[in-house]
A and B are shown apart, each in its own frame.
Chain A
Amino acid sequence: MSAAPTLIQASLRELGAALAAKRVSSVELAQLFLDRIERFNPVLNAFITVDPDKTLAMARAADVRLAAGSKDCGPLTGIPLAHKDIFCTEGWLTTCGSKMLSNFVSPYDAHVVDRLNAAGMVTLGKCNMDEFAMGSSNETSFYGPVKNPWDTGRVPGGSSGGSAAAIAARLAPAATGTDTGGSIRQPAALCGLTGLKPTYGVVSRYGMIAFASSLDQGGPMAKSADDCALLLNAMAGFDSRDSTSLERPVEDYTRDLGKPSQDLRGLRIGLPKEFFGAGMADDVRAAVDAALAEYRRLGATTVEVSLPNSGLSVPAYYVLAPAEASSNLSRFDGVRYGHRAAEYVDLADMYAKSRAEGFGAEVKRRILIGAYVLSHGYYDAYYLQAQKIRRLIANDFTEAFRHCDIIAGPTAPGVAFAFGAKSDDPVQMYLSDIYTISTNLAGLPGMSIPCGFGAGNMPVGLQLIGNYFDEARMLNVAHRYQQATDWHLRMPGGL
């Protein structure tokens, strides 16, 4: 297959065009990526489960749809993608990166999986992740750490690190991710990708294994904003099975991309002064500053804004997210599915041993913190106080958006770090998400796009934060930058 180097670098639109013109079949495309997974995954560990028979059956079904050339086909029909192992996929192992679910073959599909299947996308496999999405480096996975394809001595970020590494290494053209405190945007930044966390409520959480339900949101990860817009079109939409899914008119998230009337002249980009302080590494600052200069060249103006309470976002998050996690993860009890201890003396002992064996150290810590902040005598001081601070953080954004159309800054304070650099110090690890968490607390949409390289030739991400439901504009702002630059097309060497 001489077209292979082009196909692994192709955009989703280019893949769609190649399929429509019969230059490649869905089966050939799936096989190309399955071969790459077989070759590179033993080093990268980006996938937990690969099942070529299932993948090729889906690809054959897509080829039938494509051959019929009917109205049944859409822009994504026949294109392969990978799913973060947090999304339930019927008949596939769905582990959430945990021993607790190491035997869980999902009896149903998540809404997102349902939608992407209906669009004719072909599942390449299930991507590794931090256990129950709790981590910023992929080091907490029961299945071992994922390696960053740019430097296999460094972390890919987390928790959607397997998804990020898979795309960066061109083992998949796109992947699903989830973002509770930065888990799409931070690995996208550390692996040189484009990733989008939608406004809370835009993408259904049905079948997405819950971590912190008031913050969790699924979204697309791919090479470009254009790819992400196409994927979001398929992923977004009302779902009655998620009580927080919002009933809104269907949107075309690609509608502004490349439209002459939607150029960046007059766009006001807000720069939160709190995001440009001492916490940001010099190499990240240089790349972000250069990206902002490019935006000014494209006609945008930059204006300083303030998010005075954003420094409280990490501590507030580490009350609220563990509190919700301790409640959500109480369902894992060894009774209905998942891991059950082999030996126990009574029911209480069975619970305690099954959970002790099934959960890793970071998950246990978060459950324990959550149980503590929710316990009698501490609820008001911790949990309620954190909810009030969450309101202050959300209000800061409301005020900032009075002065700008979109917010920009770094996605992560530094480039990808070495394995073990932060894994012994949970607080240092938590601070990896210092620029991303406030967006989740407020429920706003956010993106990370590649904007250059820093120390060790590692990718740097620019974060964009939009107002509620402003994904289409945010995607266009990212797309214009990607039309003027080629950072998003760079790929690691040796692959």
Chain B
Amino acid sequence: MSLNPDQVERIARLARIELSPAEAAQTRDRLNAILGLIEQLQAVDTTGIAPMAHAVANGHAAQRLREDVVTESDRRATYQAIAPEIEAGLYLVPKVIE
């Protein structure tokens, strides 16, 4: 399995990362080396093995559920103080609807 330039472009678009043409070529080589490393997983027989999504999913502990109650206080002003651009308590982004 190795990625062609179109696939690299598609993944970069999915990940919302702009790649310059020069960067794309080097990125493709490095990604293909990494895919070469992970390719060996394909040869392993995992029939009947349950996927392990989490370290607490190995039987030694269980994740808890909390009560469905509000736990956050209003810290909008504090959080917005470090935002790139705000107005009237709202985060500003470029216009999305004409």
Q: List residues of A whose CB falls within 8 A of some B CB.
A: 103-105, 107, 200-201, 214-215, 240-241, 243-244, 246-247, 309, 312, 314-316, 318-319, 326, 330, 333-338, 340, 344-353, 355-356, 359, 361, 364-365, 367-373, 375, 381-382, 384-392, 394, 398, 425-427, 430, 440-443, 468-469
| Chain B positions 29 through 58: 1 when the CB is less than 8 Å from some CB of chain A, otherwise 0 | 011011111111110101001111111101
List the 3 shortest-distance A-B pairs measured between CB atoms, nearest first: A443-B55, A387-B51, A200-B55
B51 touches A388 (CB 8 A): yes
B79 touches A336 (CB 8 A): yes
A368 touches B15 (CB 8 A): yes
User: What chain B residues lie within 8 Å of A368 (beta carbons)?
Assistant: 8, 11-12, 15, 17, 27, 31
Q: List residues of B whose CB falls within 8 A of some A CB.
A: 3, 7-8, 11-19, 27, 30-31, 33-42, 44, 46, 49-56, 58, 60-61, 63-64, 66, 71, 75, 78-79, 81-85, 91, 93-96
User: What chain A residues lie within 8 Å of B37 (beta carbons)?
Assistant: 314-315, 318, 427, 430
* Contacting residue for A336 out of B38, B54, B78, B91, CB 8 A: B91
B19's nearest neighbour on chain A, judged by CB, is A356
Using known A-B contacts A201-B61, A319-B41, A375-B11, determine if residue A352 contacts B55 with beta carbons closer than 8 Å: no
Whole-angstrom distance between the Cβ of B13 and the nearest chain A Cβ: 8
B41 touches A392 (CB 8 A): no
Q: How far is the CA of A348 from the CA of B93 in the complex (A)?
A: 10
User: What chain A residues lie within 8 Å of B63 (beta carbons)?
Assistant: 243-244
Using known A-B contacts A214-B54, A337-B82, determine if residue A385 contacts B41 with beta carbons closer than 8 Å: yes
Whole-angstrom distance between the Cβ of A103 and the nearest chain B Cβ: 8
B17 touches A359 (CB 8 A): yes
CB < 8 Å A-B pair total: 181
Q: How far is the CA of A220 from the CA of B19 in the complex (A)?
A: 38
* Contacting residue for A335 out of B38, B42, B64, B84, CB 8 A: B84
5 residue pairs bridging A and B, Cβ less than 8 Å apart? A315-B37, A365-B27, A389-B46, A389-B49, A427-B34
* Contacting residue for B14 out of A349, A375, A381, CB 8 A: A375
Whole-angstrom distance between the Cβ of B10 and the nearest chain A Cβ: 8
Whole-angstrom distance between the Cβ of B2 and the nearest chain A Cβ: 12
Using known A-B contacts A365-B30, A385-B44, determine if residue A344 contacts B17 with beta carbons closer than 8 Å: no
B84 touches A201 (CB 8 A): no
Using known A-B contacts A246-B61, A326-B15, determine if residue A389 contacts B44 with beta carbons closer than 8 Å: yes
User: What chain B residues lie within 8 Å of A333 (beta carbons)?
Assistant: 16
